[in-house]
Every structure is written in structure tokens, then in C-alpha cells.
Amino acid sequence: MNFEEEVSEYIPLEEDLVGPLSVEAFTADKAFGRAIPNLSELELAFFGVGNAMFDQSWVTAPATTTSRDGLGPIFNARACSACHAKDGRGKPLLENNAASQGFLIRLSSDNNFAEGPIAFENYGGQLQDAANLGIEPEGSINVAFEFIEGRYPDNTVYQLRKPIYSIVDNSYGSLSGAQTSPRVGQQVIGLGFIDALSEESLLKNQDVNDIDKDGISGKANYVWNVKQQKLTIGKFGWKANQPSLEQQVAGAFHGDMGLTSDLFPNENCPSGVDCSKLANGNNVGEQVEVNSKQFSRIMIYQAAISVPKRRNVDNADVINGKRLFNTLNCVTCHVDRFTTSTYPLLPQLENITIKPYSDFLLHDMGEALADERGDFLANGNEWKTQPLWGIGLIETVNKHTFLLHDGRARTIEEAILWHGGEATKSKESFMNLEKNKREQLLAFLNTL
């Protein structure tokens, strides 16, 4: 049987999160970096080139390695993999002024719902805390922690860790009044499947006015789509602030590393620095640092990373935990069923039933998680439901279990206990469970 026939005769299995394209990859090196199994030879070659681009460190221009120069002038890190190590979850800021391992702070002066966050004067939309030689970084970030003690109704004690950030040594003028949003990079798995979801399929779960009265609304974000020059539904980023994988990746090159591409051709230039006088990393005859050929390779790479199969799905505790996940209404936001639509980039991803455990919609998660920074239709309290696929393997891949948008939660349990707003009822039901039931729910989540 060839793979096409296997796909058409596929019988759904409990362990598969992206149907027949799920992969048996559970090791630190491969769990988040394995391609879907039906790439052509050419696509597989592009996947390899894209993988190398994701891992390589970019350097200041001019350099002898012209294919990977052009970093900066200001940036957050030198490689995609610096922040998404092994394609996995970034680390939060744990000590003052540490080099980014996946953490950054978005900035704005205000939010205009249609046009999105308004760039902060002299600083733009993000604090770049690193720079090329001879250029001032925009500033550095300090962090302090507050510890909040609590008790479950059964008297078990828990502790939440709340980070408080401050920007210091800012070199391009005052930052007073800046709205800030701290974020870590997510594992970059299954992204092609998300890119292939139709707007219609996402809107099906929308309930802005909570007509079904379950306390959970869910609202789509509509964000500026540079290629289409109009607002389209948001899918990527912690506030669904990016409309497509292409724009997310081009935005990462531009904002996080200072690299221009066709979608963002203008250098991100700090005020007072004449960037036209700096060497750029454009190759001869090209206008941008990441050329369209390079960009297409990394797109194949990012779109084709599959999702690892679940483990221990027959374990009795895991089965009970899954039942609890449904009865506590976790699944109302962490939705476990979508079918992908058309996807010209990789038609193999079309018409696949997936279980991302997300609705990709915005929810009010309460004051405690709020960043007070608007992002298109998302207000400070609102965050996109983070897909839970892969969550049980973050520890294997990244040797940590820091979760939520800024990595504040140290464990899955702590992430649940931070849930507020629309998720308050769900969280309280979790807290009211007996300890062994709570452990069953966590056991289920660890199989994802």
C-alpha cells in the first residue's frame, strides 16, 4: 500500500493528534522536529535546508558567509533555535538582563483596534535587548518574583510564582507610558495544520456574547495581513496576533533577529542611527537579507513539522483524566476536533482531522494574567487558548516545564491554577477534585 492509500483507509487512533500524519518521535532531539511522513524527496530536502536555517546563528554583515549575514542592527537573539531550542518551548526570563532563550517583551503606546498596537516612539513594537557592535541595544530587562500561597479545598498547599518585569538602561529615550507584553516562544509543532484551518471552522466555536450561557465566550482576533493588505483572522502568537505562518516567520526574522525578507523589506532601524550607512546582508542583486528561496525552505520546515503521538493512552488513570478534562469544560476552550481545509503549500496537510486542544480564539483569562496591552481585538485580559499538543514532551525536549505566555507557571498544575476570567469555573472544579483525580487529569495532560 502506498502512503496515499494508507491515508485514505486510515482508522482514527486515540494516540494520533494529526491523524495518519502523527509521528512516533519521543526523544529530546526529535519529538518536536520530525516531519510528516509523506513529504516528497524534494520537500524533504527543503525541510533539511529549512531545519539548518532554523538552527544556524546569523552574523553581522558584511561577512564571508553571505547567506547568513545581516543580523541586526538591533535584535533579540541570533538564531530561531536560540528561542525555540530543538523546536520547543522557550525559557522565561529568570535573572536580570539574561540573554534571551525565548523571552521577549512587546511594546506599544496604545492599541488601535483596526491597525493593531501603535509602535512606541523610538522603540517600535518590541524591545530589542541586543545589538551589533557599535550600536546601543534598546535596553535590558530585569525580573523579580512574588510568591503567592494558596490552598486547595482539601487543604493541600500550592504556590504561584508571579514575575514582575522592569526595563532598565533604555538608550533611545523615555519608556514612560509604554504598554508591555512579556512572552515566550512556543514549541513550533503542527503549525502547517493550524495554517490550513479555514476561518469558518474557527468561527464555529465563537460565542462572543456567550449565548449558550456557559460563561465561556471566545472571540476571533482579526489582525493586519501584510500580504493581503486587509484584516484577516489571527492564528499564531499568544494573542492570535499573526494571521499566517508566513507572516509569523517573516515577523520573527524581522523583529527578533533584524533580518529583512520580502514581506518586511525595511530594516528595523533604531532612532538616530543611519541604517543606510550600515552594511546590510543583502546578496548581490537582492533587496532583502533572507531571499525568497531561503524563505520558502524555512516555510516548508515550519509547516511540515508533525505532532508526536500520545503515550500511555490505555492507562486507566489517563482515561479517567481525559474524562475529567471534558467534564470540567477544559475542552470548551482546548477544543479537540478540527478538520483542515485547503493548503497549497503542502496539500498533504489537507482534510486531516486534528486534535490541537485549542480553539485559537481569545478568552478573558482574568486580571492576574493580564498584560494591559491591546493587540488588535485582544484586550489586556485576553489570550488565545494555547494548543496543548506536545505539552507532555516539553520537559523531555527542553528540560523545563515553564508554561503560559510568559513562562511564569513552573508546572502544568500551576498553569491551571493561574486560569481566571472565563476559565474560573473550570479551575474551581479542578480545585474541588480529590487529589487523586487532580493527578489523573495531570496524567492525561502529560500524554499529549
- Residue ranges that bind ligand HEC, judged by CB under 6 A: 54, 76-77, 80, 82-84, 90, 100, 102, 104, 183-186, 188, 191, 216, 236-238, 241, 248-249, 252-253, 256-257, 298, 302, 328-330, 332-334, 363, 365, 369, 383, 385-386, 391, 403-405, 412, 415-416, 419, 422-423, 426-427, 430, 445
Minimum Å gap between C-beta 77 and ligand HEC is 4
The enclosing H or E element of 3 equals: helix 3-8
Among 194, 446, 424, which Cα is nearest to 332's?
A: 424
Q: Which is nearer to ligand HEC, 233 or 249 (CB)?
A: 249
Minimum Å gap between C-beta 145 and ligand HEC is 17
Grid coordinates representing 262 are: 520580502
Minimum Å gap between C-beta 294 and ligand HEC is 10
Minimum Å gap between C-beta 351 and ligand HEC is 22
Minimum Å gap between C-beta 60 and ligand HEC is 16
Q: Which is nearer to ligand HEC, 193 or 236 (CB)?
A: 236
Evaluate whether 307 touches 427 at the Cβ level (below 8 Å). Answer: no
Q: Which residue has the cell 517600535?
A: 124
Residue 355 is classified by DSSP as -
Residue 333 is classified by DSSP as H
Q: Which is nearer to ligand HEC, 21 or 191 (CB)?
A: 191
Burial class (CB in 10 A: 0-12, 13-18, 19+), 436: exposed
Work out the number of other CB atoms within 10 angstroms of the CB of residue 142: 15
Q: Which is nearer to ligand HEC, 288 or 369 (CB)?
A: 369
Q: Which is nearer to ligand HEC, 309 or 419 (CB)?
A: 419
Q: Which is nearer to ligand HEC, 22 or 332 (CB)?
A: 332
Minimum Å gap between C-beta 107 and ligand HEC is 12
Q: Which is nearer to ligand HEC, 83 or 141 (CB)?
A: 83
Q: Which is nearer to ligand HEC, 175 or 184 (CB)?
A: 184
One DSSP character per residue, 105-118 reads: EEEESEEETTTEEE
Q: Which is nearer to ligand HEC, 25 or 403 (CB)?
A: 403
Minimum Å gap between C-beta 11 and ligand HEC is 28
Minimum Å gap between C-beta 361 and ligand HEC is 8
Q: Which is nearer to ligand HEC, 397 or 445 (CB)?
A: 445
Burial class (CB in 10 A: 0-12, 13-18, 19+), 154: exposed
Grid coordinates representing 414 are: 500551576
One DSSP character per residue, 369-389 reads: G-----BTTB-TTEEEPPP-T
Minimum Å gap between C-beta 423 and ligand HEC is 4
Q: Angle formed by the axes of helices 292-304 and 41-55, to 10°?
A: 100
Q: Which is nearer to ligand HEC, 17 or 415 (CB)?
A: 415
| Residues 6+ positions from 36 with CB-CB distance below 8 Å | 18, 21, 23, 192, 304, 305, 306, 346, 348, 349
Minimum Å gap between C-beta 129 and ligand HEC is 9
Q: How far is CA 138 from the centre of its chain?
A: 24
Strands 338-339 and 130-131: unpaired
The enclosing H or E element of 397 equals: helix 394-398
Grid coordinates representing 423 are: 476559565
Grid coordinates representing 408 are: 511564569
Residue 93 is classified by DSSP as P
One DSSP character per residue, 283-326 reads: PTT-SSSS-HHHHHHHHHHHHHB--BPPS-TT-HHHHHHHHHHH
Minimum Å gap between C-beta 302 and ligand HEC is 6
